[in-house]
A = this chain, B = another copy of it.
Amino acid sequence: MFKKRENVAAIEEGKILSPKFDKDGLIPVITTDFKTKEVLMHGHMNAESLKKTIETKEAYYWSRSRKEIWHKGSTSGFVQKVIEIRIDDDQDSIWMSVDIGDGASCHVGYRSCFYRSVSLGKIKNTEQVEMEFKDKKKKFDPNIIYKGKPNPTKI
């Protein structure tokens, strides 16, 4: 759908979008809050969801658990308004800056999916590396918002 990737110079130094989708047709997306700059989530898009996101300025992802185009916020109401989309040097990952107001982006209920911090330093036992909760208060109750829907987290 997008411009064919033909040479490294055009990919790295050019001004035409020519994204690289992986063998599943997906490109990873880093989503940050445009105000606080915190990382909200890590998702994926296929060509169609990238096109819809660019055109509508609302975030569409590819849901790997449901295997469908996913208009973020269609269930929770927390739509992501796109402020900026950047792409990296070899055009195989996207950084998207969004406005979610006072909402949330994590299906567990927290504002950001990255609510836990890993203890750094010498590891005694890799099976016991501890984490600290940095975000303690949920923005919503997932048992209400996602009632009856399967949890996307897989073991």
Contacts and interface: CB of A to CB of B under 8 A. Distances in A.
Contact of A89 (B1, B88, B107, B118): B107
Interface residues of A, number: 66
A135 B131 CA distance: 35
A5 B153 CA distance: 11
Interface string A117-139: 11111110011111111100000
Contact of A82 (B108, B120, B153): B120
A141 interface: no
B117 A89 contact: no
Given A3-B127, A11-B153, A93-B113, 10 more contacts: A3-B129, A8-B155, A16-B128, A39-B86, A51-B126, A82-B120, A86-B134, A89-B108, A89-B113, A90-B153
